[in-house]
Amino acid sequence: MVDPKSEPQLRAAIELLYFAYRAFTAGPDRMLAQRGLGRVHHRILYFVARNPGVSVKQLLEILAITKQALHLPLRQLQSMGLVEAASDERDARVRRLRLSAEGVRLEARLTATQMKQLEEAFSRGGADAMDGWLAVMRALAGQSTGDAGPPAS
C-alpha cells in the first residue's frame, strides 16, 4: 500500500517518466523513421554496439525478448547492411553479431542525441543528479550495482 502522503509525488514521478521517455526517444525515432525503422531496431543497434561479437542468444537475454520478436527486426538490420552476422569460430551454430561501418555511424548518431539530453539534464540537476538518477534507474530495473543492463555473458 502506498503512503497517501507520498501519492501526489509518486503520481508526478510516473507522469514525468512518461513525458521524459517520450522526449528521450523523439530524436532517434525521427532518424529511424526515415529508414523505416523503430525503437526495437535502435535497441538492437545499441546493444550490439556495446557488445561486439554478441551471440544471438546473448542478445535475446539482454533485450529480454523472444526469438520471434528479434527475428524480423534483426533480419531487416542485416538486409540494410547495418548488422553483420558470422559463425562462431568454435561452434558454427552460434551466430556472432557486429555492426557494419554504416551501423556504427547510425548507432552513434542515435545515441549521441540521447547522451546530449542526459548530459544537459544532469548538468541542470546539480552535482548529485547523475548518481541519484542512476540509483533510481537501477532500483527500477531490479539491479543493485554495476552496468545499466544484464551482462552479455
pLDDT digits (tens, 9 = 90+) for 86-104: 998 899 899 999 999 999 9
Number of domains in the chain: 1
- Report d(CA 53, CA 87) in Å as an integer: 10
Vertex 139, ends 109 and 73: CA angle to 5°?
A: 40
Asked whether residue 2 is domain-assigned, the answer is no
pLDDT digits (tens, 9 = 90+) for 6-49: 999 999 999 999 999 999 999 999 999 999 999 999 999 999 99
Containing structural domain, residue 71: 9-141
Radius of gyration of the chain (CA): 18
Asked whether residue 150 is domain-assigned, the answer is no
Asked whether residue 68 is domain-assigned, the answer is yes
Helix 56-63 and helix 67-79, axial crossing angle in degrees, nearest 10? 120
CATH number at residue 64: 1.10.10.10
The reply to whether the predicted model has a pTM over 0.85 is yes
pLDDT digits (tens, 9 = 90+) for 113-130: 999 999 999 999 999 999
Task: Please answer whether residues 152 and 58 qualify as being in contact, where contact means their C-beta atoms are separated by less than 8 angstroms.
Answer: yes
